[in-house]
């Protein structure tokens, strides 16, 4: 029988790519979103409602929990917090009742505090990895950090397996040209760590995490292997973070977020770069 995954937030950029990647890997996919889309086999589900979550999150091998408000900008802080935290609680509650033993959480590199913090964030070294301290300030980053902590508690409580994937800015060729190219020239691009990941690579990481023989809760960064900037990484770091220790050589356009743990634990290696997009 085909393995079955439930993808929440399946109508969004990441969720739609994740659902497609699981289908390509021969998984049975139940795609759920607050906005239904019959043309893409996405069922309507407001998982902020506990009864709805318990009715629909069941009979699966794995849940890829992606549904959330994806940024603090343009939303009231209480709306971001209430939505993201109720989604996590309800999905976990439904999984626990249904006996679903694997959870994949769409976390964010924003647990570091970047890029929406109101006060300067202290970075300790590059490349950033999972040992780097987290320091969320804005409500979106807080919900991602608390989400990871809830995943940790769920894994301890149930004995289930979980992976939190900490992702930077997710991109396609179209969104990169529209959103990233104009941002390169701005000083605040350093708050992004000039980091991004192609949506196809991010989606593939979810499939790899679902299929990897892991135990407990693993937190891992995933990133493209390069920055989104045209300037070389050493120059970017010298301009924006001259006092931060560089622990490994970062030649050329090397990313300053390390995907080493993801490579070691789930076999993730990014395959796509904006340099392949054309017109960027």
DSSP string, 24-53: HTT-EEEEEESS-BGGGTEEE--TTSHHHH
Alpha carbons 235 and 231: distance in angstroms, whole number: 7
Asked if 255 and 129 count as a contact pair (C-beta separation under 8 A), the reply is no
- Sequence-ordered alpha helix ranges (H) in 25-126: 50-56, 77-98
**Residue 107 β-bridge partners:** 166
Name the nearest CA neighbour of 191 among 261, 246, 148, 141: 141
Q: What is the rounded CA–CA span in Å between residue 107 and residue 208?
A: 16
Q: Could you identify the residue written with the tokens 């939303």?
A: 75
3-state secondary structure of 254: strand
If DSSP codes are grouped into helix, strand and coil, which group holds residue 161? strand
> What 8-state DSSP symbol labels residue 134?
P
Ramachandran bin of 194, using left for φ above 0, alpha for ψ from -120 to 50, beta for the remaining angles: left
**Looking at residue 7, what is its pLDDT?**
98
Q: Which two tokens stand for residue 3?
A: 């393995």
Is residue 106 left, alpha or beta, with left meaning phi > 0 and alpha meaning psi from -120 to 50?
beta
pTM: 0.97
Distance (Å, whole) CA 58 – CA 53: 9
Which secondary-structure segment (H or E) carries 171?
A: strand 169-171
Kindly list the structural domains of the chain, giving each domain's residue range(s) and its CATH number in brackets, ordered by start: 4-170+199-223+258-271 (3.40.50.720)
According to DSSP, residue 56 is labeled H
For residue 1, count other CB atoms closer than 10 A to its CB: 5
Q: Do residues 135 and 113 touch, judged by C-beta distance below 8 A? A: yes
Q: Which residue has the tokens 């490349």?
A: 127
CA 274 to chain centre: 18
Distance CA 64, CA 18 (A): 8
Instruction: Judge whether 57 and 47 are in contact, CB under 8 Å.
Output: yes
What gap in Å lies between CA 92 and CA 106, rounded to an integer?
Answer: 14
Q: Tens place of pLDDT for every residue, the chain, 280 residues?
A: 689 999 999 999 999 999 999 999 999 999 999 999 999 999 999 999 999 999 999 999 999 999 999 999 999 999 999 999 999 999 999 999 999 999 999 999 999 999 999 999 999 999 999 999 999 999 999 999 999 999 999 999 999 999 999 999 999 999 999 999 999 999 999 999 999 999 999 999 999 999 999 999 999 999 999 999 999 999 999 999 999 999 999 999 999 999 999 999 999 999 999 999 987 7
């Amino acid at each position: 029988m085909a393995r079955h995954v439930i993808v929440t937030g399946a109508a969004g950029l990441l969720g739609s790519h994740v659902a497609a990647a699981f289908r390509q890997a021969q998984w049975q996919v139940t795609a759920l979103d607050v906005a239904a889309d019959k043309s893409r086999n996405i069922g309507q589900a407001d998982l902020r409602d506990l009864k709805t979550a318990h009715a629909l999150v069941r009979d699966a091998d794995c849940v890829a929990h992606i549904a959330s408000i994806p940024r603090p900008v343009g939303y009231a802080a209480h709306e971001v917090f209430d939505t993201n935290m109720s989604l996590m609680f309800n999905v976990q509650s439904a999984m626990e009742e249904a006996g679903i033993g694997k959870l994949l959480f769409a976390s964010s590199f924003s647990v570091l505090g970047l890029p929406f913090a109101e006060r300067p964030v202290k970075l300790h070294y590059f490349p950033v990895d999972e040992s780097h301290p987290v320091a969320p300030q804005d409500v979106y980053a807080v919900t991602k950090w608390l989400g990871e902590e809830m995943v940790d508690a769920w894994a301890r409580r149930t004995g289930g397996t979980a992976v939190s994937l900490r992702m930077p800015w997710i991109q396609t060729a179209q969104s990169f040209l529209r959103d990233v190219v104009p941002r390169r020239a701005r000083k605040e691009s350093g708050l992004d760590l000039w980091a991004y990941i192609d949506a196809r690579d991010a989606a593939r990481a979810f499939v790899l995490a679902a299929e990897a023989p892991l135990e407990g809760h693993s937190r891992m960064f995933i990133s493209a292997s390069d920055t989104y900037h045209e300037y070389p990484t050493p120059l970017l770091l010298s301009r924006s973070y001259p006092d931060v220790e560089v622990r490994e050589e970062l030649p050329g356009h090397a990313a300053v977020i390390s995907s080493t743990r993801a490579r070691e634990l789930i076999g993730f290696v990014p395959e796509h770069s904006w340099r392949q997009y054309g017109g960027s």
